[in-house]
Structure 1
Amino acid sequence: MSFGPPPPPSPSPYTQSTLAVGAREKRRTVFVFGVVLALTAALFAGGWAVWSLTEEKGTARASAAQQPPDAIRETVETVPKTPEGQVAVGWTEKLKEGRSASTKGTWVSGSIAAKSFADVIRGMEIGTAEKKWEIQFAGPLCAVTRHVSVDGRTAVAVPGKRSAKEEHAKGEKGARSERPCDHLAVVDIDSGKKLWEEPLPVGDSGSSSVNVTMTRGTVVASWGRGSAAYDMTTGERLWSDVKARTCNDVGFAGGRGLLALQSCGDSADRLFRVQKVAPRTGRAEWTHRVAEGIESVYLASSEPAVIAVATGDEGVIDYLHSLDDRGRNRATIPLPDRRYVHNCDETFSAEVERCSGVVVGRRQLYMATKPRDMYEPGLTKMPPNEIVAFDLRTGNSVLKFDAKPDRPMYPVRMSGDNVIAYRENAGAALSSVVSLDPETGKERLLLVLPDDADRPSMDLFANDFDIVYERGTVVFGMKEVERQSGEQDEGPQVSLMDGYRSSG
């Protein structure tokens, strides 16, 4: 049993403008097609091309041009010699009964898998699971970014150090988790060095509601009442916006570009707008005004620009919207009946760049459907789900990859023009990582987890853990760990991270 394309989108504040844009694009199709043919002939006659195709193990794979060191990493994965996997890394930690700890942030770079635990980031060597380094901060990490630069740098927001006198005056001794989040730091995952740590110009408004992201050469933080950008290498502040304004920065999305989400007016009559921002200057290059009556907005991708909106009081995401290179609405993708797993509306999170279930490529975006017994009554076993591709130009579903019975799939990230997906073991089969090719509709096996994989119990669709796949290694990292009162069976150890890699 499989689902076809979703019904045409119902009218929304964006639909009419989308249809108009589509009509204009259709009128340009014949002309553009002719230009593309001419350019293609010229390029190949000149003997060069942007992408080079090589044959490896019977498949063509794209080799992207080398990225600069301070760009955000976009690794193109290759097929390993053997997909059979083995345990590569793991970290368990003692936790007192009735306690919980934030473990947000999971990163992989080179031979290191890094994970946070309260006020510590630890780097573990992939293959031996040995601790290679550890960085301790003055308080628990309050914000992280999933982005990693080509040369292995990432950014976190943390509380700054306080003197013993300040600790005593504030009554904060032993309550480090309540300190204001007022510092930004960049760490090198490969070496374990804290490259720099700088104070944020938060004034008296520092809180845990901080957002952090990265784009090429730049780290950006916002805290509801202001924002600031820093040079990724030196830590020099490039710009800041801390003045009281009608519209305030809520958060940013990084990656290839930089998008800002702004909230305008008071909570009773709030409007949202999205801006494309020049990372080094903070100047707005275009502004997209979100329609009135929208309850919340999230940033799924900066380039191509994709936003998610919730129209009702419950904060349920109703639509995704792709924007063009001038900030105009390009296409509307309806999300009916909570059928798709977008993971935008995460509970108790101040982040706006958090639609981990929406994987955005240059022409299409991908989302998984929920296993059907989660939204169809009367079904008892775990039916398959699908990963559906939507065209960013039209908003239409154009392709779907069917999962297998009792083996639901979830998209992880792009790998060139292919999609990396994780297939969960919900039955007798083994869990695996696969590469999905939207051009052919075929999948290729990248990694099979060992049958004795001792992974913690995790719900693939609950958004309570990270999945990172990088150069043949998959790492699962919990976002928060907790040990219930009276929990005696498993003892004081809780699993923070575990990972697997190809044995070939």
Structure 2
Amino acid sequence: MTQPPPPPPNQPPDPQGGFGAPTPPPAQQPEPGYGYPQPQQPQQPDQGYGYPQQAPDQGYGYPQQPYGQPQQQPDQGYGYPAQPPTQPQQPYGAAGYQQPAQPPYGYPPQPQQPYGGYQQPATAAVPAVAGGGRKLSAQLQIVIAAVVAVVLIVGVGIWYANSGDGGGKDDEAKGTAGTSQGATGDGGSGDTKGIGGGGKEKAPANTKAKKAFQLEPPVVPDITDVSGSWLTDTAYVKTGVNSVVAHDRDKGTVLWTLPLTGQVCGSSRHLTEDNKLAILFEAKKRVAPRYYQQCTEVGLVDLNTGKLLWSTSVTGGTGGDEKVRFGEVTVSGKTVAAGGGDGGAAFDIANGNPRWKPQANDQNCFDLGYGGGAGLVAVRKCGPYEAQYVMIQNLDPMTGAPVSQFKMPTGVKYASIVSTKPLVVAADVGESAGDGSGISDFFSLDEKTGKLKVKITADAEQYGARCRSTKVESCTQALVGNGRLYVPTEDHEGSTGEFGDETNELIAFDLATGKTAPEKADAGDKYTLVPLRMDGGNIIAYKEPPYDKGGQIVSVDGGTMKETLLLENPSNSTIRSLEKAFSPDYSEILYGDGRLFMSDMMLSKPRASASPTDKEYLAVSFSNR
């Protein structure tokens, strides 16, 4: 693939935290991750995006043969794969390409349909006289009145189901929150038959949990990223310092430790069916005074045995003999794919042999990263720095050849892959989100043709999903399944109006029409719903508790949005303090088979003045087993 000139060597890590952020060219300013304020700039009009792009007949730039990642910050925490129910259940826990001519996008603009804005239900008077002039009987008037009352109740109910913040905000302030563009149709059918259900997680006889174990943090000389945690049938696996460590999922005792040459600097949120994990790591250990090494090594770890099956690195592009630096890695089928500011490469999962690697080209195109899982999708940047544009390319995982592609609208600097099948992309168009979430819009694409199905505008003040702007596979609290996109609303005042009484809802968008489903899940007063991952057609969610309660894990039916309690933590003050130390915004949360794991993503040098009450842990586990 064609790559731009490499950034200056030995650049420091992403200042916003998180490992392996791509290093920009010298003139480029770093993009902040989510959670950091971002300056608002006038949104530029969308010009010529959405038209289908034909894949070339020739190979993908690899000489004389077809040419051919992912994270959360953490993923879920460390990403929890959002798979439609037809896909196999994931374990817990994209050469110079000549761009074709770009005709104007052919779909007429669709009327915008406001979401969440209050609309006064129409009132209807009960007619006393029928159309023919006959006076209605008293009994018939009563029947008509009852019917009108039902209509009004249903109308108000539909409005409330579509209200993202419970009302109370000015309509104009919301703008076009939740509106959709790019597809016609009259919305979803409203029929939830066949949607939801089929999950592996079932309600146990006893939902009351107790603390199972806690893990001491390793001592680090400087700020160290330890993002990455996974579950197997027997182990809880967590990134350590220059290592990956597996713990007994009930006792927390160490099952195995895999030492590495340097710190883990990237890992896949997807595992193979037999628990193989792709990682990135540094070739050397970090030393003073910078405690930094370049992220160049790609490897495959067997989480069942703790063995490093293979490791490799590549050169290419404009870097000459220098190793290519990567920012993230993912897995799709029989391919491991890694991307970053130096471009993308892919490897045979069986032996690590390269499938493709960065190639210089006169288009200044490079693969920033890939989304994996059921498919393999590249986020590709092209053009000179001052006029770069972003392409979404659905790839053949074996060759890297584009199956289809879609040009993102003007004003998009980065894009994130929420799901590869169905293909859903998140982006901050024109940096209009304004809250550092990395999301102003979701794009539902046809992965076979590259056509835009629907564009869903997600008001940052109304929705709680997050994506690291410079990471391709880092979105949290946005899940795809059942032909729907599930996102939580931002917190808002609950029904009691008391101090600290904040709550939210989990809502669903139809990926074919962009309209919201009438069903929603309510967190309940003083609780906040945090979606973690799909479980068949259901959503596994963590309910962040109020100050005097323990957190909960619930299974939400993806069709009816009804909740089933799976686990509830103790409410005593000691356990509450331990749980509260792991905020969903800055921690990884995994749940499987009656066990909840919460872990840190960033470690700091211990403070000499720290008191016993400031004790911190790498991870904590709760269980109802």
Q: Does 1:482 align with 2:604?
A: yes
The 3-state SS of whatever aligns with 2:386 is helix
Which residue matches 2:276?
153
What does the per-residue CA deviation read over 1:256-287, in whole Å, with 9 as the maximum and x for residues that have no partner? 11110011112321111100011111111001
Which residue matches 2:207?
83
Equivalent of residue 182 in structure 1, options 296, 317, 323: 296
Higher-RCO chain (CA-CA 8 Å, sequence separation at least 6): 2
CA distance in 1, matches of 2:600, 2:452: 36
Aligned-residue offset at 1:397: 1.4
Q: What is the identity, as a one-letter code, of the residue corresponding to 1:118?
A: V
Aligned-residue offset at 1:254: 0.5
CA distance in 1, matches of 2:427, 2:241: 32
Instruction: Call closer, same or farther: CA 1:352–1:177 in 2, change over 3 Å.
Output: farther
Larger radius of gyration: 2
Q: Does 1:394 align with 2:513?
A: yes
CA distance in 1, matches of 2:161, 2:441: 19
Which residue matches 1:345?
468
Q: Which runs of 5+ in 1 are unaligned?
A: 34-50, 54-59, 64-75, 163-171
Which residue matches 1:288?
406
Q: CA RMSD in A?
A: 3.3
CA distance in 2, matches of 1:161, 1:100: 17
Q: Does 1:126 align with 2:284?
A: no
Which residue matches 1:67?
none
CA distance in 2, matches of 1:267, 1:487: 47
Give TM-score scaled by structure 2 length. 0.64
Equivalent of residue 103 in structure 1, options 201, 214, 226: 226
Instruction: Call closer, same or farther: CA 1:345–1:160 in 2, change over 3 Å.
Output: closer
Instruction: Call closer, same or farther: CA 1:306–1:379 in 2, change over 3 Å.
Output: farther
The 3-state SS of whatever aligns with 1:62 is coil
Q: Does 1:242 align with 2:359?
A: yes
**Is the 1:205–1:225 Cα contact (8 Å) retained in structure 2?**
no
CA distance in 1, matches of 2:182, 2:175: 13
CA distance in 2, matches of 1:330, 1:309: 16
Which residue matches 2:483?
363
Which residue matches 1:472?
594
Instruction: Call closer, same or farther: CA 1:89–1:208 in 2, change over 3 Å.
Output: farther
Which residue matches 1:228?
345
Aligned-residue offset at 1:338: 2.6
Which residue matches 2:183?
18
CA distance in 1, matches of 2:568, 2:377: 37
Identical aligned residues as a percent = 25
CA distance in 2, matches of 1:275, 1:379: 49
Q: Does 1:198 align with 2:356?
A: no
CA distance in 2, matches of 1:175, 1:120: 21
Q: Does 1:420 align with 2:540?
A: yes
Q: Does 1:384 align with 2:503?
A: yes
Aligned-residue offset at 1:432: 1.2
**Is the 2:180–2:515 Cα contact (8 Å) retained in structure 1?**
no
Q: What is the identity, as a one-letter code, of the residue corresponding to 1:4?
A: N
CA distance in 2, matches of 1:367, 1:327: 24
Aligned-residue offset at 1:79: 3.0
Aligned-residue offset at 1:103: 0.9
What does the per-residue CA deviation read over 1:137-189, in whole Å, with 9 as the maximum and x for residues that have no partner? 11111111121222111111012259xxxxxxxxx754684222111111122
Structure whose residues are more often strand by fraction: 1
Q: What is the identity, as a one-letter code, of the residue corresponding to 2:487?
A: M
CA distance in 2, matches of 1:295, 1:286: 20
CA distance in 1, matches of 2:176, 2:458: 13
Q: What is the identity, as a one-letter code, of the residue corresponding to 2:198?
A: A
Equivalent of residue 198 in structure 2, options 54, 59, 62: 62
CA distance in 2, matches of 1:184, 1:465: 25
Instruction: Call closer, same or farther: CA 1:61–1:457 in 2, change over 3 Å.
Output: closer
Which residue matches 1:117?
240
Which residue matches 2:17?
none
Q: What is the identity, as a one-letter code, of the residue corresponding to 2:428?
A: A
**Is the 2:214–2:620 Cα contact (8 Å) retained in structure 1?**
yes
